[in-house]
């Protein structure tokens, strides 16, 4: 049954309001993309530079390099705080489940991801909120310290992080890395590169190594959180852009119906008036 002209007019107005809201959301998300992309790239370079510093150190040992004999693992899912990200959340959760064991403990970062996990009967053991659109290093301190402290209790043999790697504007690739224990092979000396002769450590070698390891973990984890946030904003821009385009198409269809019915009504009025005068 065809809708009345007044109903079509109201529906067109409602959809136009939705379209304007979507465009506003797109602009808000896009405004943070450029700065976030630059910051993410800097963190990648910072992490690489820290690895090179470790290469030039003498051999050392540290509890965070040692794998406990525990059977459980702690799996961290870096998710999204809000919705409107298309299929990013579902793709991340599908990837996360592929390597999920029954005795694994789960940490989820992001309110919306936690909600979807619970709907899929995945129950997080720990949950953390994201604090702002572009997080800084202080925002992730609590979660980073929590992961290190949990590992040092030797309850878990590994701490794994699942996050969306930002490849480009159209591709966000789910990845999983071993956060703890630190893989010592990352810091093996390359061939044909000579070490520093007689390095001097101030105040002591133990304190220097301990500081560098914790700094490396902080930057590494911060970089994964930034990758997740960058992927979230990119997906939201694309999703909102597509939704706004669909709303525009719907408005065009309704507008055609509206003007067709309006013409039909006007034609009928003129026809009735002409018939009345002829009679």
Domain ranges of the chain: 41-237
Calculate the dihedral angle through the C-alpha atoms of 206, 207, 210, 211, rounding to the nearest 10 degrees: -150
pLDDT tens across 63-72, in order?
Answer: 898 889 998 9
Residue 113 has pLDDT above 60, yes or no: yes
pLDDT tens across 218-276, in order?
Answer: 999 999 999 999 998 888 888 888 888 888 898 888 888 888 888 888 888 878 776 76
Q: How far apart are CA 250 and CA 185, in angstroms?
A: 56
Question: Percent of the chain at pLDDT above 70?
Answer: 90
pLDDT tens across 120-147, in order?
Answer: 999 999 999 876 777 877 888 889 999 9
Q: What is the structure's pLDDT at 109? A: 93
Is 41-237 a CATH 3.40.50.300 domain? Answer: no
pTM of the predicted structure, to 2 decimals: 0.81
CB proximity list for 157: less than 8 A, separation 6 or greater? 67, 68, 69, 70, 71, 72, 73
pLDDT tens across 170-186, in order?
Answer: 888 999 999 999 887 76
Of 215, 180, 268, 163, nearest in space to 53 by CA: 215
Of 166, 213, 216, nearest in space to 40 by CA: 166
191 band by pLDDT with thresholds 50, 70 and 90? very low
């Amino acid at each position: 049954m065809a809708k009345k002209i007044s109903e079509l007019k109201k529906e067109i107005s409602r959809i136009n309001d939705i379209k304007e809201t979507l465009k506003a959301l797109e602009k808000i998300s896009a405004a943070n993309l450029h700065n976030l992309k630059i910051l993410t790239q800097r963190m990648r370079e910072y992490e690489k530079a820290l690895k090179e510093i470790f290469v030039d150190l003498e051999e050392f040992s540290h509890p965070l390099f040692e794998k406990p004999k525990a059977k459980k693992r702690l799996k961290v899912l870096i998710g999204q705080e809000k919705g409107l990200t298309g299929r990013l959340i579902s793709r991340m959760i599908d990837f996360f489940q592929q390597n999920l064991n029954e005795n694994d403990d789960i940490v989820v970062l992001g309110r919306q991801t936690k909600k979807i996990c619970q709907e899929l009967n995945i129950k997080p053991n720990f949950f953390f909120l994201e604090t702002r659109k572009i997080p800084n290093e202080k925002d992730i301190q609590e979660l980073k310290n929590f992961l290190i402290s949990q590992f040092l209790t030797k309850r878990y043999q590994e701490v794994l992080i699942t996050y969306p790697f930002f490849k480009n504007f159209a591709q966000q690739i789910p990845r999983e890395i071993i956060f703890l224990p630190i893989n010592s092979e990352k810091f093996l000396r390359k061939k044909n590169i000579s070490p520093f002769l007689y390095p001097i450590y101030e105040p002591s070698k133990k304190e220097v190594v301990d500081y560098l390891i914790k700094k490396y973990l902080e930057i590494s984890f911060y970089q994964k959180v930034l990758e997740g946030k960058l992927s979230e904003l990119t997906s939201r821009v694309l999703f909102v852009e597509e939704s706004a385009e669909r709303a525009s198409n719907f408005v065009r269809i309704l507008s055609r119906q509206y003007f067709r019915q309006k013409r039909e009504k006007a034609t009928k009025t003129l026809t009735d008036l002409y018939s009345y005068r002829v009679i």
